[in-house]
Amino acid sequence: MRQSHLFTKTRREAPKDEVAKNAQLLIRAGYIHKEMAGAYSFLPLGLRVRDNIIRVIREEINAIGGQEIKMTALQSPALWKKSGRWEDGAIDVWFKTQLKDGGELGLATTHEEPLTSLLTEYIQSYKDLPKYVYQFQLKFRNELRAKSGIMRCREFVMKDLYSFNRTEEEFREFYEKCAEAYKKIFARVGIGEKTHRVFASGGSFSKFSDEFQTICDAGEDIIYVHKEKNIAVNKEVYTDEVLKDLGVSKDEFEEKKAIEVGNIFPLGTKYSEALGLTYKDEKGVDTPVIMGSYGIGPGRVMGTVVELLSDAKGIVWPKEIAPFAVHLVSITGGNQDVVAEADRLYELLRENGIEVLYDDRDARAGEKFADSDLIGIPTRLVVSEKSMSQGSIECTARVDGTTTMIGDSDIVARLSK
Amino acid sequence: MRQSHLFTKTRREAPKDEVAKNAQLLIRAGYIHKEMAGAYSFLPLGLRVRDNIIRVIREEINAIGGQEIKMTALQSPALWKKSGRWEDGAIDVWFKTQLKDGGELGLATTHEEPLTSLLTEYIQSYKDLPKYVYQFQLKFRNELRAKSGIMRCREFVMKDLYSFNRTEEEFREFYEKCAEAYKKIFARVGIGEKTHRVFASGGSFSKFSDEFQTICDAGEDIIYVHKEKNIAVNKEVYTDEVLKDLGVSKDEFEEKKAIEVGNIFPLGTKYSEALGLTYKDEKGVDTPVIMGSYGIGPGRVMGTVVELLSDAKGIVWPKEIAPFAVHLVSITGGNQDVVAEADRLYELLRENGIEVLYDDRDARAGEKFADSDLIGIPTRLVVSEKSMSQGSIECTARVDGTTTMIGDSDIVARLSK
């Protein structure tokens, strides 16, 4: 894409009311736009990043047998009354609305109830199980405070996966498989090393659930990370009793701030019993389905990457989720030969399937470099009179600023890696 | 995908409360699920079809210079009060909701106001124009009646594109370009021959807008189609005065029912003036931007295809939007050699990038064929003892039932076309 074609521009200052670093940088670089506290529009560059994160999640969830659907955001109270979650006492972040012809509706905060109900139409026998169903769908949460940029929103896309199993053993097997898929996802999007699987409260269904927490000072959660063993515990279950269960003691842990980037949660038979999702087992006995839920917010992951990996100059995107692989910058000084050379290189890269943002704007070199650092595409190629006189192209890695000169004939091979 | 893995199943009967043919067939075949009147979830097969329609639209809109974004569904009243569209008198299908800490919000029925406001941050000079921005985003419309299946919903995805131009001439040029893109889109999704560009009311901005109407008895609109010339007129502007303008007379037209599958609409400077979207022209004079809007509902297109192209046996998907290219059906009669041969063929097709739904279920041949007809994938391949004894595979076109036998060595080449 030519940058002159892009409708967004970078800006020097972040909006004054924006306190979160992720939102400040993403707004300054033209990735997102704040519609109101906790509600952000995704602009061309931002949508590309979020879609890349979604693609990574989709690939890994499909690989463990997930089937993708898309449910509605409008929800009927009847199903939620069956599970006892319609009232604000049970879910305190409901947005509700009314039909013109009367009748209240809810805006999805989550989808256990409607999906469980939907599956009653398709699950009859043990032969119909197990099944794993997921979606990327809008959630609405009526948060009182929404000051963490795109990490805690009133409206956001969530990947929510639900498992439907026959036995606890079958469920636990999938649960661990999903935990492995989550590790792959967080590694691919660039936060694997800082992300821990953390013991957290299991609610009423199970002793524990598991959270995936990324250590980061911008986090709203407190976790305790074992100094040597691969164990981490959320503050909410960091009790003597739990530590004794795990065979560890408090002096072995360090306190850290962290961002919850994912969770996996045993649901037991709470929703299947409330909504009537049963199957006939091999003996013909009606048995409630054992469920689990598994969430990742692609927007929150995007915000976490910005919080964690940006530097003083701007954002630093990992390759897998960057909006473009290459930022091609022309420094022409009005020289039409340089323009022609940069145009040629742009076409060459595109023809070879390399995604390029081409800064073809008539602007000063300093401004172009500052914008390029702020936008944070992994590889920058600079075409200028100087590079042309050397018969090569200047190639700079955003992550560490290392610059190499690459011969024209090598460029496609180098970037296709 | 193996059909045994799919959680949906076909059903013999449509739900009794469902009167629209598109919803009846799509529910029976397992494409969609009704959450409430006018709100449907898209199940694995349905989501694939809708995503294919979205892909076609995206390709054609990108080709005319569109930049994709994603705005929020939650909308702040302030912007809508500026344009005078916050009250139900102006937009009678608002869903509204409340923030926990007070303050009313709207659920997007459309996005002119927030997008126009957003662009004020990026458009300053004539050099920043023209720009074309679009999204696929949820719209919510509080319809009193919602009985047309997925063709008129209370919640649906819409492709809405907005144009931002400097002059009427520049705007009209893009308007015609978009009309051409729409023709390509409707041709690619399989309804091109039945779809007319239709003169419709221009509202307060222009004498006419243009609708794209597909002739179909399930349509809610009445249009008049010229018997010889390529002219069609919506009932709302089918007046003597308009016909005189167009140089035609009433006896040259036929009345038809039609479905509005798309529209393109001049907005003039209504929203740019209300929201302050101006640019400095070459003389430095502040000038309001000339706007247009361009809508297509992928779900409505999907419903229209079903209404128009299905037959007594079920749905008939055009190739470009079918959930899979091939429906591979094994008729094993318990013969494990047939199972192995069908498995082999499934892997062969997948390795060659051909998308296959593989009916590997242990079911009777009659049931499998009936399901396959109902689901409506363009090409059916049957592997059975009979086909194996002939050393070939039975290949049936869903559209006309023609069957040919194809040698194993030809199969990939034939299906890759």
The candidate with the shortest Cα–Cα distance to A65, out of A161, A135, A132, is A132
- Interval B383-407 mean pLDDT: 94
| pLDDT, tens digit, 9 for 90 and up, residues A214-259 | 999 999 999 999 999 999 999 999 999 999 989 999 999 999 999 9
Do residue A35 and residue B72 have CB atoms under 8 angstroms apart? yes
Q: What DSSP string runs through A220-263?
A: SEEEEEESSSS-EEEGGG--HHHHHHHT--GGGEEEEEEEEEEE
Do residue B47 and residue A41 have CB atoms under 8 angstroms apart? no
Mapped onto helix, strand or coil, the DSSP state of residue A401 is coil
- Interval A269-297 mean pLDDT: 98
Contacts of A118 in chain B (CB under 8 A): 33, 41
CA distance linking residue A171 with residue A267, whole number of Å: 10
pLDDT for the residue A298: 98
Contacts of A107 in chain B (CB under 8 A): 97, 107
Region of poorest pLDDT, from A37-46, A55-64, A243-252, B363-372: A243-252
pLDDT for the residue A101: 86
Do residue A47 and residue B65 have CB atoms under 8 angstroms apart? no
CB A231 within 8 A of CB A241: no
Q: Residues near B204 by Cβ (< 8 Å), separated by ≥ 6?
A: B270
Do residue B107 and residue A122 have CB atoms under 8 angstroms apart? no
CB A47 within 8 A of CB A53: no
pLDDT for the residue A208: 85
CA distance linking residue B154 with residue B147, whole number of Å: 11
- Interval B98-106 mean pLDDT: 94
CB B132 within 8 A of CB A44: no
Q: What angle do CA A88, A94, A96 make, to 5 degrees?
A: 105
How far apart are the CA of A224 and the nearest CA of chain B, in angstroms?
A: 33
- Interval A33-45 mean pLDDT: 97
Q: Which of B32, B99, B125, B128 to mutate to test the interface with A (most CBs of A within 10 A)?
A: B99
pLDDT for the residue B414: 87
How far apart are the CA of B80 and the nearest CA of chain A, in angstroms?
A: 13
Cross-chain CB nearest to A76 (options B36, B42, B100): B36
pLDDT for the residue A205: 63
Do residue B5 and residue A65 have CB atoms under 8 angstroms apart? yes
| pLDDT, tens digit, 9 for 90 and up, residues B260-281 | 999 999 999 999 999 999 999 9
CA distance linking residue B9 with residue B66, whole number of Å: 39
**Mean per-residue pLDDT of chain B:** 96
Burial class (CB in 10 A: 0-12, 13-18, 19+), A273: middle
Token pair of B22 as six digits:
């598109």
pLDDT for the residue A416: 81
| pLDDT, tens digit, 9 for 90 and up, residues B222-236 | 999 999 999 999 999
Say whether pLDDT at B29 is over 90: yes
Q: What DSSP string runs through A71-131?
A: --SEE-HHHHHHHT-SSTTT-TT-EEEE-TTS-EEEE-S--HHHHHHHHTTT--BGGG--E
Contacts of A6 in chain B (CB under 8 A): 67
Token pair of B148 as six digits:
């047309």
pLDDT for the residue A417: 65
How far apart are the CA of B2 and the nearest CA of chain A, in angstroms?
A: 11
Contacts of B67 in chain A (CB under 8 A): 5-7, 44
Contacts of A49 in chain B (CB under 8 A): none
Percent of chain A with pLDDT over 90: 92
B149: region left, alpha or beta (phi > 0 left; psi from -120 to 50 alpha): left
CA distance linking residue B79 with residue B304, whole number of Å: 34
Residue A413 — φ and ψ, nearest 5°? -60, -45
- Interval A396-411 mean pLDDT: 93
A200: region left, alpha or beta (phi > 0 left; psi from -120 to 50 alpha): beta
Contacts of B35 in chain A (CB under 8 A): 71-72, 74-76, 114
Residue A63 — φ and ψ, nearest 5°? -65, -25
Say whether pLDDT at A204 is over 70: no
Confidence of residue B417 (pLDDT cuts 50, 70, 90): low
Cross-chain CB nearest to B41 (options A71, A105, A154): A71
Contacts of A72 in chain B (CB under 8 A): 35-36, 39-41, 155
- Interval A33-41 mean pLDDT: 96
Cross-chain CB nearest to A122 (options B7, B36, B155): B7
How far apart are the CA of A253 and the nearest CA of chain B, in angstroms?
A: 38
Contacts of B129 in chain A (CB under 8 A): none
- Interval B8-25 mean pLDDT: 93
- Interval A356-365 mean pLDDT: 96
Do residue B72 and residue A40 have CB atoms under 8 angstroms apart? yes
Percent of chain B with pLDDT over 70: 99
Percentages of chain A per state (helix, strand, coil), in multiples of 5 = 35, 30, 35
The angle, 0 to 180 degrees and rounded to 10, between the axes of the packed helices B168-188 and B44-63 is 140
Do residue A8 and residue B122 have CB atoms under 8 angstroms apart? yes
DSSP-assigned letter for residue B304 = H
Contacts of B68 in chain A (CB under 8 A): 44, 47
For chain A, domains (ranges, CATH) are 21-309 (3.30.930.10), 324-416 (3.40.50.800)
- Interval A87-95 mean pLDDT: 94
Q: What DSSP string runs through B353-376?
A: T--EEEE--S--HHHHHHHHHHHT
Contacts of A28 in chain B (CB under 8 A): none
B102: region left, alpha or beta (phi > 0 left; psi from -120 to 50 alpha): left
Do residue A36 and residue B155 have CB atoms under 8 angstroms apart? no
Cross-chain CB nearest to B76 (options A36, A43, A101): A36
| pLDDT, tens digit, 9 for 90 and up, residues B147-161 | 899 999 999 999 999
pLDDT for the residue B415: 87
CA distance linking residue A205 with residue A216, whole number of Å: 29
How far apart are the CA of B323 and the nearest CA of chain A, in angstroms?
A: 13
The angle, 0 to 180 degrees and rounded to 10, between the axes of the packed helices A44-63 and A168-188 is 140
Cross-chain CB nearest to B70 (options A47, A98, A101): A47
Do residue A72 and residue B41 have CB atoms under 8 angstroms apart? yes
| pLDDT, tens digit, 9 for 90 and up, residues B355-381 | 999 999 999 999 999 999 999 999 999
User: Beta-strand (E) ranges in B169-252?
Assistant: 195-201, 208-215, 221-226, 232-234
Q: Residues near A51 by Cβ (< 8 Å), separated by ≥ 6?
A: none
- Interval A97-119 mean pLDDT: 96
Say whether pLDDT at B210 is over 70: yes
Say whether pLDDT at A15 is over 90: no
CB pairs under 8 A between A and B: 129
Give me the interface pTM, i.e. the ipTM.
0.96
Closest chain B residue to A6 measured between Cα atoms? Answer: B67
Do residue A69 and residue B119 have CB atoms under 8 angstroms apart? no
Do residue B155 and residue A72 have CB atoms under 8 angstroms apart? yes
